[in-house]
Amino acid sequence: MSVQNRFGALQTLKAYIDLTRLQFGFAWPLLFCSGLFLATQNYGGFSWMLVVKAALIGFLGFEAGFILNDYVDREFDQRDIEDTLTKYWRVFKKRPLASGLIKPNHALALFIILVAITLLLIGTLPFPHSLYLLIIMIY
């Protein structure tokens, strides 16, 4: 692989990290599972498989939400003249869709994939809990 190809791949990776706000990846499963832990403490039914499912639902669902936000706001973000993105929100200080680092159809495809996996995971949960999560996800 040439140096130029490696640099391009690195830039693309950095753009996807900014798109998904991957630096917050630990927070979403933690928040999502805290509710699960409270529920299992009160009602029982704890299992490690359920914790893994909940962590994945939290992680993938929130990541999909970040992508959707950037996808919907991509034209508005192009007009944004503020150049002071903090590293807190964007580690590499880029809006990948607005700056053209990621094509909108690629972001939309990733969003659809993450939502589909999240829906499949939600579908494995017992009713009516799966319905509650589905409603929250749609909201």
Of the candidates 118, 131, 132, the one whose C-alpha atom is nearest the C-alpha of residue 63 is 118
**Residue-range domain boundaries for the chain:** 3-138
- Tokens (6 digits) for 70: 């950037």
Q: What is the pLDDT of residue 122?
A: 94
Q: What is the pLDDT of residue 84?
A: 63
The structure tokens 């969003």 sit at 111
Q: What is the pLDDT of residue 83?
A: 61
**pLDDT tens figures, 98-127:** 889 999 999 999 999 999 999 999 999 888
Q: What is the pLDDT of residue 6?
A: 74
Of the candidates 92, 94, 100, 93, the one whose C-alpha atom is nearest the C-alpha of residue 75 is 100
Of the candidates 110, 119, 113, the one whose C-alpha atom is nearest the C-alpha of residue 137 is 119
Measured CA angle at 139 (ends 73, 35), to 5 deg: 115
- Tokens (6 digits) for 130: 């799966």
**pLDDT tens figures, 46-56:** 899 999 999 99
Q: What is the pLDDT of residue 65?
A: 93
**List of the chain residues with pLDDT < 50:** none
Query: How many whole angstroms from its chain centre is CA 6?
Result: 25
Which amino acid, one-letter code, is at 26?
F
